[in-house]
């Protein structure tokens, strides 16, 4: 029996009973539980096989609730929240003492965002507590962008996937932390650097594991298919090196032709980066099912969401 359902009141009942529901957001599906329930939060880590030192993002339905989660809001954080919420931007700020250490992995900061998805906003508005929700995939795997992806991963290890359709943005939220009052990008994501800089001016990126070793989104290998994947500037040249293999191709806008290609996905014929981002993870899920020897992925233009797509493709190429 499928655990996929559109019934919000059922999701409310399950979450009130301290159990987990996978929820849709505009970025990826999240595996959600009551932030104040130790039982639910432990279950999130267990179900994902996620190490406890990796903190979770808190999801709230409105900006008025922000002061109940964080103890200090720098002016630039306020501006970013006003500009992008609800939306794919996560702010990391000093936590309120009421936020459990399990959520923040013992840190004195907490990550928080308002997701832009009507189903999940309805759900959050019917709950007396915020939801912690990491991406609903086993640790290190490709994030889910449909309810079916989540069910394929967890079967009946979770009670319910709340179906909100395919995720419109398709890549995780951009995460911004602060050094004092100055914002810093910790994870590239669905809100482009250019959009962020238009609100707060030039911003530094520190998304390397040397700087944030305890943040899994910054691990070298993440968002990774099981099939060996390489990232190249020129697909035709790469194909010539693997003509004896079963090749899968992940291209930005133009298909390639070669007998060795057994499966191919073009992300956006119109070269629309948002369209490409929204289809990226589903394409990786599909490619990974084809029993290929190698996935050859094309590098994207290094601007706007192209930077975020390249970041994910790069991490998909690192072998375990």
Q: Is 217 in the site for ligand TXA (CB under 6 A)?
A: yes
Q: Is 144 in the site for ligand TXA (CB under 6 A)?
A: no
C-alpha 40/C-alpha 58 separation (Å) is 13
Q: Which does 89 bind (CB under 5 to 8 A by kind): ligand TXA, Mg ion, none?
A: none
Eight-state DSSP code of residue 55? -
Among residue numbers 283 through 312, which ones bind ligand TXA (CB under 6 A)? Answer: none
Cα-flanking dihedrals φ and ψ of residue 93, to 5°?
-140, 165
* Residue 120 or 135 having the CB closest to Mg ion: 135
Q: Is 87 in the site for ligand TXA (CB under 6 A)?
A: no
What are the C-alpha distances in Å from 74 to residues 17, 177, 182?
36, 11, 8
How many other CB atoms are found less than 10 A from the CB of residue 194? Answer: 11
Question: Residues 8, 15, 22, 30: which binds ligand TXA (CB under 6 A)?
Answer: 30
Q: Is 172 in the site for ligand TXA (CB under 6 A)?
A: yes
Q: By CB under 6 A, how many residues form the interface with ligand TXA?
A: 29
Q: Which of 63, 215, 48, 73 is nearest to 124 (CA)?
A: 63
x/- string (CB under 6 A) for ligand TXA, residues 42-71? Answer: ------------xxxx--------------
DSSP structure string for 86-106: SSSEEEEEEBPTTS-HHHHTT
* Residue 217 or 225 having the CB closest to ligand TXA: 217
Q: Is 161 in the site for ligand TXA (CB under 6 A)?
A: no
Residue nearest to Mg ion (CB): 135
The H or E element spanning position 298 is strand 294-298
Among residue numbers 117 through 156, which ones bind Mg ion (CB under 5 A)? Answer: 135
What residues contact residue 64 under an 8 Å CB cut-off, 6+ apart?
none
* Residue 176 or 265 having the CB closest to ligand TXA: 176
C-alpha 86/C-alpha 11 separation (Å) is 21
C-alpha 227/C-alpha 300 separation (Å) is 20
How would you classify the pairing of strands 174-179 and 4-5?
A: unpaired
* Residue 11 or 247 having the CB closest to ligand TXA: 11
Q: Is the peptide bond before 131 cis (omega within 30 degrees of 0)?
A: no
Question: Residues 133, 147, 160, 162: which binds ligand TXA (CB under 6 A)?
Answer: 133
Give the interface with Mg ion as residue ranges (CB under 5 A).
135
Give the interface with ligand TXA as residue ranges (CB under 6 A).
25, 27-28, 30, 54-57, 88, 90, 92, 104, 107, 109-111, 115, 133-135, 172-173, 175, 177, 186-187, 215-217
């Amino acid at each position: 029996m499928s655990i996929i359902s559109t019934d919000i009141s059922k999701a409310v009942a399950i979450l009130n009973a301290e159990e987990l529901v996978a929820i849709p957001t505009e970025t990826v599906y999240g595996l959600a539980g009551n932030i104040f329930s130790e039982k639910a939060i432990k279950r999130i880590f267990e179900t994902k096989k996620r190490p406890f030192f990796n903190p979770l993002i808190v999801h709230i339905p409105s900006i008025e609730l922000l002061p109940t989660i964080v103890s200090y809001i720098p002016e630039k954080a306020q501006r970013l929240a006003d500009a992008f919420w609800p939306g794919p931007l996560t702010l990391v700020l000093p936590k309120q003492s009421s936020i459990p250490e399990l959520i923040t992995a013992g840190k004195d900061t907490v990550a928080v965002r308002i997701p832009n998805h009507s189903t999940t906003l309805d759900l959050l508005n019917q709950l007396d507590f915020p939801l912690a929700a990491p991406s609903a995939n086993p640790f290190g795997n490709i994030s889910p962008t449909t309810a079916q992806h989540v069910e394929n991963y967890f079967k009946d290890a979770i009670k319910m996937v709340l179906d909100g359709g395919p995720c419109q943005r398709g890549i995780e939220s951009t995460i911004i932390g602060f050094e004092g009052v100055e914002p810093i990008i910790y994870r590239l994501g669905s809100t482009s650097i250019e959009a962020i800089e238009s609100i707060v001016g030039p911003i530094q990126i520190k998304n390397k594991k040397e700087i944030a070793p305890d943040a899994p989104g910054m691990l070298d290998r993440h968002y990774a298919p099981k099939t060996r994947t390489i990232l190249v500037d020129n697909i035709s040249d790469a194909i010539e090196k693997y003509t004896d293999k079963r090749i899968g191709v992940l291209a930005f806008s133009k298909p390639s032709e070669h007998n060795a290609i057994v499966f191919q996905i073009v992300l956006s014929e119109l070269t629309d980066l948002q369209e490409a981002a929204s289809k990226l993870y589903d394409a990786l899920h599909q490619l990974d099912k084809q029993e290929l020897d190698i996935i050859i992925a094309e590098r994207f233009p290094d601007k706007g969401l192209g930077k975020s797509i390249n970041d994910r493709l790069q991490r998909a190429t690192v072998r375990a």
